[in-house]
Amino acid sequence: APCPQWPYCRKRCSYCNFNTYVVPAVDEAAVRACLVREAQTLLRLSQVHSVTSVFFGGGTPSLASPGTVAAVLEAVAGAAHLPAGAEVTLEANPSSTSASVLDGFRAAGVNRLSIGVQVRGAPPAAASAAPRDPIVTVLPSQSLDDAELRMLGREHTAAEARKAVEAARGLFPGRTSIDLLFGLPGQSRDAWAQRLEATLRLCDDHISLYQLTLERGTALAAQVRAGALPAPPQDLLADMYHTARSALGAAGFRHYEVSSFARKGALSTHNLSYWRAEQYIGVGPGAHGRFVLRAEGGCSREARVQTPEPVAWMREVQSRGHGTRSRAVLSPLEQLEELLTLGLRTDEGITHERWGHFSPQLSLQAVFEGPGEARALQQEGWLVLDSGGLRCTWAGLAVLDSLLPALLWQLQRV
């Protein structure tokens, strides 16, 4: 799945520490040419035959023109097979998503939108090309309260956000995701319950539920640290998460990943490919990828990071076809560690088949069934290991980060 990154924003949000750049004027033609070239180069190196999804992340990729999106998709389709109906997601900001703009993106090939406040921890906006289809996620619907939005430093208003979601649903029915943020400084249980209700009235079939994280170096974190804003207590955050899980479940959503909820089967194909530890190709400044370099005769999965700074990245792409800053071959153990860490985030967990793909010799049972941490965690009701594979229980999913060190420790000793 190619993940093209569009690293530019109009304004930096107070909570964001992504690789984004606020510049007065972007030479879009040049950036476009580089995204196209890098997508072609990396797809060729990976020798991927077919792409399942493409995801345009950012920055704020909806600030790019539909022409850029079209050009990248064309490049992907030229380098590999891009089936009709492959998921193409674009991330969007409510203030840059008028119906006409969105229509342009749809015409360019986008078929799914992710409207976000706190735009994901996804690769910065290049095309993330998973060996099937490109996705562009666009839809920030985060907060629907102006005061909260101001605190978050968002440049749109609640009314704009509502309008954007409605416009998006009109154009991408059943394919519009919205972000829902909780744990804002000062947010009460009641305020959260109301926000949930309002969101359920407005939303389409996919919701990404995020606890606001105070990332170091962001304006919001500085305000909280300085005492200008209150830090929400742990127990309140846990309540909010569990309240949301229940409310969304009651509204027919499947909680298919720690932060992801979908109904009517509207799961994000692209994101699932991360959690299933499939291959993905990061394109654009600061993008990350995980794939095998078949063209170089490689047979091991590599972790690749593209150069973050856009001007340097462009120079590199122009001179050698791609701007890969670092690449590291992942050892078999490292691959399994990533598979555990990511796979347990989903409701399906890690299937025997998927585990076997990375570990043909040693089965899940061989590693986790004997006496040890995993067995204790099963007995305590946090984990399940059965014919379906290894996965968290409902309770276990909420405390996954307390389970992982024990599981990794057990894995490392095998």
Cα dihedral across residues 197, 201, 207, 210: positive or negative: negative
Q: Which is nearer to other proteins, 65 or 393 (CB)?
A: 393
Can you name the residues that pair with 303 across neighbouring β-strands? 290, 328
Distances (CA, A) of 59 to 294, 297, 313: 30, 34, 15
Q: How far is the CB of 413 from other proteins (least distance, A)?
A: 9
Beta carbon nearer to other proteins, 83 or 405: 405
Site for other proteins in 298-317 (CB under 8 A): 303, 305
| Interaction residues for other proteins, span 367-396 (CB under 8 A) | 380, 382
| Rounded least distance, CB 25 to other proteins, Å | 27
Contact 289, 230 (CB under 8 A): no
Q: What string marks each residue from 126 to 165 as x (binds other proteins by CB under 8 A) or -?
A: --x-------------------------------------
Q: Is 292 exposed, middle or buried (0-12, 13-18, 19+ CB in 10 A)?
A: middle
Query: What residues between 75 and 114 interact with other proteins by CB under 8 A?
Result: none
Can you tell me which of 71, 102, 122, 164 binds other proteins, judged by CB under 8 A? 122
> Which amino acid belongs to residue 289?
G
What number of residues does the chain have?
Answer: 414
Structure tokens at 165: 């979601």
Residue 342 binds other proteins (CB under 8 A): yes
Task: Give the number of C-alpha atoms closer than 13 A to the C-alpha of residue 389, restricted to the C-beta side.
Answer: 18
CB 400 within 8 A of CB 344: yes
Binding other proteins (rule: CB under 8 A), the pick from 58, 59, 61, 123 is 123
CA diameter of the chain: 60
Comparing CB distances to other proteins, the nearer of 111 and 268 is: 268
Member of 290, 301, 322, 391 binding other proteins (CB under 8 A): 290
Q: Where are the alpha helices (DSSP H) in 47-98?
A: 66-79
Residue number with CB closer to other proteins (101 or 248): 248
Q: Decide: is 49 part of the binding site for other proteins (CB under 8 A).
A: no
First to last CA, the chain: 32
Nearer to other proteins, 22 or 238 (CB): 238
Choose which of 289, 323, 349, 389 interacts with other proteins (CB under 8 A). 289
Q: Which residues contact 411 (CB under 8 A, 6 or more apart)?
A: 333, 336, 337, 340, 367
The strand order across the sheet containing 324-329 reads 288-292, 301-306, 324-329
CB of 218 to other proteins, least distance (A): 14
Does 50 interact with other proteins (rule: CB under 8 A)?
Answer: no
For residue 402, state whether it binds other proteins (rule: CB under 8 A).
Answer: yes
Residues 203-242 that bind other proteins (CB under 8 A): 209-211, 213, 234-235, 237-238, 241-242
Of 160 and 187, CB closest to other proteins: 187
Tell me if 115 contacts other proteins by CB under 8 A. no
Residue 338 engages other proteins in binding (rule: CB under 8 A): yes
| 166 touches other proteins (CB under 8 A) | no
Per rule CB under 8 A, count of chain residues that contact other proteins = 51
What amino acid occupies position 14?
A: S
User: Residue 392 has what DSSP assignment?
Assistant: E
Min CB(412)–other proteins separation in Å: 6
Q: Contact 341/357 with Cβ under 8 angstroms?
A: no
Beta-bridge partners for 292? 301
Rounded to the nearest angstrom, the gap between the alpha carbon of residue 321 and the centroid of all alpha carbons in its chain is 26
Per CB under 8 A, contacts with other proteins among 254-283 are 258-259, 271, 274-275, 280, 282
Tell the smallest beta-carbon distance from residue 210 to other proteins (Å).
4
Q: How many Å apart are CA 146 and CA 79, to the nearest integer?
A: 44
d(C-alpha 338, C-alpha 344), whole Å: 10
Q: Structure tokens of 278? A: 């499939």
Tokens of 410: 């057990």
- Residue 350 Cβ vs other proteins, minimum distance, rounded to whole Å: 15
Residues lying near other proteins in the complex (CB under 8 A): 1, 3, 120-124, 128, 209-211, 213, 234-235, 237-238, 241-242, 258-259, 271, 274-275, 280, 282, 288-290, 303, 305, 334, 337-338, 341-342, 345, 380, 382, 397-406, 408-409, 412
